[in-house]
């Protein structure tokens, strides 16, 4: 089995990611996150929000509606230019992205039509009566919700240029070919910063370089192997319609180097199209700010953290996820489930720890199997309550990565994990 098959199988078996609508045969390009997957995604989002909003004085958050007035997408250029080149096989009529496929149809060897532009926006119909329903779009990028609220944020807060607005949310693209597990889906989640600056190439370059480095370092700070990361600058002919400069952060995936975050210089493209300006009262000037954007995909990030953390030796799978990302931080076990004293003490410790951390409980099978089950889902520490606990109130803590065990006083456990998670 190759690595992608292993990851997909693990994701399904342990409740990270399931195929969308599986009991009805699935639905191409849509995925559902299970109990552990939602924890991993929430942890990624929480860490991102902390570093982008809480730890900065110059960034505030927002959460705009997914469906907006369709005029937003006209102004933003998406109705005209948010397209991929599509070819169709003249024999079997299967459709492909022209820039990702060779000269003949891989399914039947047939000839392709000439490429045509295929718009990626997903249409929806909104309204209460059949006759009165209006066509709208699910957002193709979460970004425009920030731009259309630029004036609202300036007027309702104390932000001053330079400042940023951060947002996390779902986006939808009618991708011609979805694939590589969650990598290219039709519904996905983005985490974006729109950072507004004074117009000008010099300032833009400085801010662009800052965010490019900051974003790559953020992945490394959460345990991603630096050697699996690189920057790739876009050629002029591959940049999105709004970007004057674009650099991708790419991960060395089993299916090749793949983009999972983009840093873009959007200049004044968007605010100008929405007729929005900024008034600098102190300097007595008015201008259209430029925007440096960092745009990451949470699904791709979760997938690459899983791939990066995945280790397999003869007898066990270990997910070496950073403790801040691991779904459970700690698992608590009574050494033997049929000893009431051990069970009661273990439950007490479990109840105390779960007020601070997301904690797993397991009293099935033998201790070795329980360790393996936690290794496979990335739980960094397992706490075992044994007979010695009943005598001296110490427990063993077993470390996922080193498998080393140490004895710690039960009443020091909260402090111990707080320090380890710092
Ligand atoms: N606002 C800019 C923007 O949307 P993008 O490069 O088109 O830029 C940003 O998308 C990120 O969104 C990508 O780096 C990727 O992580 C994620 N993304 C885009 N299309 C995706 C898809 N079909 N499936 C999963 N993630 C996707």
Res 100: pLDDT: 87
Give the burial string for 406-421 (b: 16+ CB within 10 Å, else e): eeeebeebeebbeeeb
Å from CA of 261 to ligand 1 middle: 7
- Which residue's alpha carbon is at the smallest distance from atom 10 of ligand 1? 295
CB 382 within 8 A of CB 370: yes
User: What's the CA gap between 295 and 262, in Å, rounded?
Assistant: 5
CB 261 within 8 A of CB 135: no
Angle ∠(148,152,157) on CA atoms, nearest 5:
140
Atom of ligand 1 nearest to the CA of 173: 23
- Which residue's alpha carbon is at the smallest distance from atom 8 of ligand 1? 295
Res 413: pLDDT: 98
CA dihedral (102, 106, 108, 113) positive or negative? negative
Ligand 1 pocket: which of 81, 168, 188, 215 to mutate (most atoms within 8 A of CB) = 188
Q: Which residue, among 405, 381, 379, 250, has the nearest Cα to 309 in the 3D structure? A: 379
Helix (H, G, I), strand (E, B) or coil at 355: coil
**pLDDT digits (tens), the chain, 422 positions:** 599 999 999 999 999 999 999 999 999 999 999 999 999 999 999 999 999 999 999 999 999 999 999 999 999 999 999 999 999 999 999 999 998 899 999 999 999 999 999 999 999 999 877 887 899 999 999 999 999 999 999 999 999 999 999 999 999 999 999 999 999 999 999 999 999 999 999 999 999 999 999 999 999 999 999 999 999 999 998 999 999 999 999 999 999 999 999 999 999 999 999 999 999 999 999 999 999 999 999 999 999 999 999 999 878 999 999 999 999 999 999 999 999 999 999 999 999 999 999 999 999 999 999 999 999 999 999 999 999 999 999 999 999 999 999 999 999 999 999 999 99
Identify the residues whose C-beta falls under 6 Å from ligand 1. 141, 143, 173, 175, 184-185, 188, 190, 192, 259-262, 293, 295-297, 299-300
User: What's the CA gap between 210 and 20, in Å, rounded?
Assistant: 38
- Which residue's alpha carbon is at the smallest distance from atom 21 of ligand 1? 184
């Amino acid at each position: 089995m190759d690595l992608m098959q292993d990851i997909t199988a693990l994701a399904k078996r342990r409740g990270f990611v399931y195929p969308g609508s599986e009991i009805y045969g699935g639905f191409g390009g849509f995925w559902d996150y299970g109990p552990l997957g939602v924890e991993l995604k929430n942890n990624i989002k929480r860490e991102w929000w902390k570093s982008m909003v809480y730890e900065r004085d110059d960034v505030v958050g927002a959460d705009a509606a997914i469906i907006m007035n369709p005029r937003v997408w006209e102004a933003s250029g998406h109705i005209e230019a948010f397209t991929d080149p599509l070819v169709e096989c003249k024999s079997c009529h299967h459709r492909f992205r022209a820039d990702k496929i060779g000269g003949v149809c891989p399914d039947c060897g047939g000839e392709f039509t000439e490429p045509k532009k295929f718009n990626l926006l997903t249409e929806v119909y909104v309204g209460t009566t059949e006759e009165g329903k209006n066509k709208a779009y699910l957002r193709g990028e979460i970004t425009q919700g920030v731009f259309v609220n630029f004036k609202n944020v300036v007027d309702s807060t104390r932000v001053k240029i330079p400042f940023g607005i951060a947002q996390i949310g779902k986006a939808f693209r009618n991708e011609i070919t979805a694939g590589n597990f969650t990598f290219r889906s039709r519904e996905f989640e983005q985490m974006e910063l729109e950072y507004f600056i004074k117009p000008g190439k010099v300032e833009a370059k400085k801010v662009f370089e800052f965010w490019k480095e900051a974003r790559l370092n953020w992945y490394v700070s959460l345990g991603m192997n630096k050697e699996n990361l690189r920057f790739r600058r876009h050629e002029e002919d591959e940049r999105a319609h709004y970007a004057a400069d674009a650099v991708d952060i790419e991960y060395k995936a089993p299916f090749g180097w793949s983009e999972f975050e983009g840093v873009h210089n959007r200049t004044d493209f968007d605010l100008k199209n929405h007729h929005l300006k900024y008034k600098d009262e102190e300097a007595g000037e008015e201008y259209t700010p430029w925007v440096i954007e960092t745009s990451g995909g949470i699904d791709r990030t979760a997938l690459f953290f899983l791939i990066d953390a995945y280790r397999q030796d003869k007898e066990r799978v270990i997910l070496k996820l950073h403790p801040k990302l691991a779904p459970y931080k700690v698992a608590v076990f009574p050494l033997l489930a049929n000893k009431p004293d051990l069970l009661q003490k273990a439950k007490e410790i479990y109840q105390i720890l779960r007020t601070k951390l997301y904690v797993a409980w397991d009293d099935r099978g033998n201790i070795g199997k329980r360790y393996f089950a936690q290794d496979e889902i990335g739980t960094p520490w397992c706490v075992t309550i044994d007979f010695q606990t009943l005598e001296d109130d110490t427990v063993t803590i077993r470390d996922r990565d080193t498998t080393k065990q140490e004895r710690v006083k039960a009443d020091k456990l909260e402090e111990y994990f707080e320090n380890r998670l710092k």
